[in-house]
Structure 1
Amino acid sequence: MKETTSHSQTTELPLMEEFYTIQGEGYHSGRAAYFIRLGGCDVGCVWCDVKESWDAEKHPYTPVSEIVENALKSKTDFVVITGGEPGMYDLSTLVDELHTHQLEVAIETSGAYAFSGNVDWYCFSPKKFKSPVEEAYERADELKVVINHPSDFDWAQKHAEKLVKSNCKLFLQPEWSKEERFLPLIIEFVKEHPQWRVSLQTHKYMNIP
């Protein structure tokens, strides 16, 4: 079984899928992006729409060099590493090689693990199912909270209060299956708390990955 904890050099990663698309969520919404989705997750969100990513052993361990080569075949200047939970792995080699080719690199993570890799953009999306580490509050460039229950608004505020970077972007995003219920509430909340912004899963409206 391959290494699944941070801070040990990793030259192969469990690759679930990779694709060139438009970022649909958060700060970089609307931007062309090459997605690298890694397998493996122990956070266990009940509403996760990629539960097939959870078991890392179901996805081929792929050389970092091959992953980078595939990204370079696209016209991208922006790579998003997601999962699963990508923070389970040492991503320093992958990030460094992407940077060698002048690609901007972002990660989307629950913040449940200490993170390795000098990414350009750290999207912190905490989940109630596994507590984040303190480092996540220090590194976050973007806080994206999925609203699945009325109590999530206060929960989001508590996370925002712990952020270190004063310019961290704050987003509230309705859980897709409950958008009709929660989007109106999010809109009103953002109007009352304008430091927050609304995030929608626009890729689903565009019917793209």
Structure 2
Amino acid sequence: MTTRYKINELFETLQGEGSFTGQPSIFLRLQGCPVGCSWCDTKHTWEIHPELEVNSKQLLSKSEETEQWSNLTLDEMAAIFSQQGFQAKHIVITGGEPCMVDLTELCHYFEAQGYSCQVETSGTFEIRVSKQCWVTVSPKVNMRGGYKILASAMQRANEIKHPVATEQHIDDLKALLAEHKVEHKQIYLQPISQKQRATELAIASCIANNWRLSVQVHKYIGIE
């Protein structure tokens, strides 16, 4: 049986966050997420409504964020890359919560074609990817969905990118790192909603803890 993936968006842009900031990338945004982050900027990806399934042409013609999604095979995605003339060789698998799905086959498929893969996850689901896939865990602590951060996700992470707005978020991260004995990983703080107070807190905390700052460059320069 051919595997299909529920895709909300498929587009080429620059990665605006974390270690790959500035990297030309193809984004695969999967539909579905039960985590329930209050500040989420992709709430249109949370629910999977069967009646909102569209074909790939309709998916690509979307001019605004919607809950519409398309059920695509890997061959169909690759064909879209070619038809759209995408030049990027880095694929960012995001959502939604992409790790609700086993992504191993997807990673192997595109890596065999010369792409690198990166997955962005909340760390609340088992991460099933290739060994080469770069894993960005953005741990979502005490969210509405009630999901816990998995120890396996924290250990698999290549980078940890933590959204912050208050001192409590800093305390949550420190507790998480201590609980899971996380060492020698790249730690990024990402101010929520680009608010000045959150940004100032993130800068001070990065300096104090020798962490790094991720400022969602794409939002500052006005690209998708």
Q: Are 2:108 and 1:96 aligned?
A: yes
What residue is the counterpart of 1:55 in the other structure?
47
Deviation at 1:163, TM superposition (A): 5.3
- Which residue identity does 2:161 align to in structure 1? K
Q: Which of 161, 168, 173 pairs up with 2:185?
A: 168
The SS at the match of 1:16 is strand
The SS at the match of 1:66 is helix
Deviation at 1:164, TM superposition (A): 6.3
What residue is the counterpart of 2:136 in the other structure?
123
Cα distance between partner residues in 2 of 1:21 and 1:139 = 26
Cα distance between partner residues in 2 of 1:82 and 1:180 = 26
Deviations 1:89-138 (A, max 9, x none): 11122111101101100000001111212152000001121212121011
Alpha-carbon RMSD across the aligned residues, in angstroms, is 1.8
Query: So what's the TM-score if we normalise by structure 2?
Result: 0.83
CA contact (8 A) 2:94 2:119 kept: yes
The SS at the match of 1:151 is helix
What residue is the counterpart of 1:206 in the other structure?
221
CA contact (8 A) 2:11 2:28 kept: yes
Cα distance between partner residues in 2 of 1:21 and 1:103 = 15
The SS at the match of 2:96 is coil
Cα distance between partner residues in 2 of 1:10 and 1:159 = 38
Change (3 A) 1:111 1:15: same
- Which residue identity does 2:222 align to in structure 1? N
Q: How many percent identity over aligned positions?
A: 32
Q: Which of 6, 28, 32 pairs up with 1:14?
A: 6
CA contact (8 A) 1:122 1:142 kept: yes
Deviations 1:129-155 (A, max 9, x none): 121212101100000000033200011
The SS at the match of 1:96 is helix
The SS at the match of 1:27 is helix
What residue is the counterpart of 2:99 in the other structure?
87
Q: How many residues align?
A: 199
Deviation at 1:162, TM superposition (A): 4.7
Deviations 1:31-84 (A, max 9, x none): 111100000000011111110001123422111221233235411111000000
Change (3 A) 1:154 1:168: same
Query: So what's the TM-score if we normalise by structure 1?
Result: 0.89
Q: Are 2:187 and 1:151 aligned?
A: no
